Chains A and B, each alone.
Chain A
Amino acid sequence: MAEDLSADVVIVGTGICGSFVAHEMAKAGLSVIMLEAGPRIDRDEVVENWRNMPPHNKSEYDYATPYPLVPWAPHTNYFPDNGYLHVDGPDRTAYMQGIIKGVGGTTWHWAASSWRYLVNDFQLKSTYGVGRDYAFTYDEIEPYYFKAEQEIGVCGPNGMDIVPSAPRKQPWPMDSMPYGPADRRFTELVKPLGFENTPVPQGRNSRPYDNRPQCCGNNNCMPICPIGAMYHAVYHAQKAEALGARIIPNAVAYAMETDAQNNITAIKYYDPDKQSFRVTGKTFVIAANGIETPKLLLLAANDRNPRGIANSSDQVGRNMMDHPGIGMSFQAAEPMWVGGGSVQMSSITNHRDGPWRSEYSAIQIGMNNTAQNSRAGMKALSMGLVGHKLDEEIRKRSAHGVDIYVNHETLAHPDNRLTLSTQYKDKLGIPHPHVYYDVGEYVRTSAVKSRQHLMNIAKALGGTEISMSQNFTPNNHITGGTIMGKDPRDSVVDGWCRTHDHRNLFLATGGAMAAAGTVNSTLTMAALALRASEEILRDMKHA
Chain B
Amino acid sequence: MSITPEADTSGPLPEAERWASSALTRRQIMLRSAVSAGAIATAALLTGLTSGTMLRARNNAESPPLAPDVRDRFMRFSHLATGHTALSPVLGERYYQALTGQDHQFPAKLNALVDLAGRLPRPSVEALEEIARQQPALHGALMAVIRAWYSGVVAEGSQATVYAYEAALMYQPARDQVVIPTFAHDGPNYWVKAPPPVSAMPAF
Query: How close is A429's CB to chain B, nearest CB, in angstroms?
Result: 25
Query: How close is B80's CB to chain A, nearest CB, in angstroms?
Result: 10
Tell me which residues across on chain B come within 8 A of A179, comparing CB atoms.
191
Tell me which residues across on chain B come within 8 A of A340, comparing CB atoms.
177, 190-191
Residues 56-84 of A contacting B (Cβ, < 8 Å)? 56-58, 62, 65-66, 68, 79-80
Q: A48-B52, A54-B160, A394-B173 are in contact. Are A178 and B179 (CB under 8 A)?
A: no
Residues 384-410 of A contacting B (Cβ, < 8 Å)? 384, 386-392, 394-396, 398-400
Tell me which residues across on chain A come within 8 A of B160, comparing CB atoms.
54, 56
Residues 305-354 of A contacting B (Cβ, < 8 Å)? 335, 337, 339-341
* 25 A-B interface contacts by CB (under 8 A): A45-B51, A48-B52, A48-B55, A51-B46, A52-B54, A54-B153, A62-B158, A66-B54, A180-B192, A181-B195, A216-B184, A217-B186, A218-B183, A335-B195, A337-B195, A340-B190, A371-B179, A372-B178, A386-B83, A386-B143, A387-B129, A389-B126, A391-B83, A392-B201, A395-B174
CA distance A337 to B54 in the complex (A): 31
Tell me which residues across on chain A come within 8 A of B126, comparing CB atoms.
386-389
Binds B, one of A102-110, A261-269, A280-288, A374-382: A374-382
Residues 167-204 of B contacting A (Cβ, < 8 Å)? 168, 170-175, 177-192, 194-195, 198, 201
Residues 80-133 of B contacting A (Cβ, < 8 Å)? 81, 83, 124-126, 129
Binds B, one of A21-29, A219-227, A465-473, A526-534: A219-227
B178–A53 touching, CB < 8 Å: no
A158 in contact (CB, < 8 A): no
A412 in contact (CB, < 8 A): no
Contact among A47, A214, A381, A395 with B173 in the assembled complex (CB-CB below 8 Å): A395
Chain A residues within 8 Å of B, Cβ to Cβ: 42, 44-45, 47-58, 62, 65-66, 68, 79-80, 177-181, 214-220, 224, 226, 335, 337, 339-341, 370-374, 376-378, 380-381, 384, 386-392, 394-396, 398-400
Tell me which residues across on chain B come within 8 A of A58, comparing CB atoms.
181
B45 in contact (CB, < 8 A): yes
Tell me which residues across on chain B come within 8 A of A52, comparing CB atoms.
46, 52, 54-55, 162, 165
CA distance A68 to B190 in the complex (A): 33
Tell me which residues across on chain A come within 8 A of B12, comparing CB atoms.
42, 44-45
B52–A219 touching, CB < 8 Å: no
CA distance A399 to B184 in the complex (A): 19
Query: How close is B135's CB to chain A, nearest CB, in angstroms?
Result: 15
Query: How close is B79's CB to chain A, nearest CB, in angstroms?
Result: 12
CA distance A51 to B48 in the complex (A): 10
* Chain B interface residue number, banded: 35 or more
Tell me which residues across on chain B come within 8 A of A376, comparing CB atoms.
170, 174
Tell me which residues across on chain B come within 8 A of A68, comparing CB atoms.
53
A51–B174 touching, CB < 8 Å: no
Q: A47-B182, A51-B166, A395-B198 are in contact. Are A178 and B147 (CB under 8 A)?
A: no
CA distance A376 to B162 in the complex (A): 18
Which chain A residue has the least Cβ–Cβ distance from B171?
A373
Query: How close is A384's CB to chain B, nearest CB, in angstroms?
Result: 7
CA distance A350 to B188 in the complex (A): 29
CA distance A176 to B177 in the complex (A): 22
Which chain A residue has the least Cβ–Cβ distance from B200?
A395
Tell me which residues across on chain B come within 8 A of A217, comparing CB atoms.
179, 185-186, 188-191
Query: How close is A229's CB to chain B, nearest CB, in angstroms?
Result: 9
CA distance A394 to B180 in the complex (A): 13
CA distance A398 to B51 in the complex (A): 31
Tell me which residues across on chain A come within 8 A of B19, comparing CB atoms.
none
A392–B173 touching, CB < 8 Å: yes
Tell me which residues across on chain A come within 8 A of B125, comparing CB atoms.
386-387
Which chain A residue has the least Cβ–Cβ distance from B204?
A391
CA distance A335 to B153 in the complex (A): 28
Query: How close is B146's CB to chain A, nearest CB, in angstroms?
Result: 6
Tell me which residues across on chain A come within 8 A of B49, comparing CB atoms.
48
Query: How close is B147's CB to chain A, nearest CB, in angstroms?
Result: 6
B151 in contact (CB, < 8 A): yes
Tell me which residues across on chain A come within 8 A of B186, comparing CB atoms.
216-217
Tell me which residues across on chain B come within 8 A of A80, comparing CB atoms.
158
CA distance A214 to B143 in the complex (A): 42
Which chain B residue has the least Cβ–Cβ distance from A208?
B188
CA distance A49 to B51 in the complex (A): 9
Which chain B residue has the least Cβ–Cβ distance from A394?
B173
B68 in contact (CB, < 8 A): no
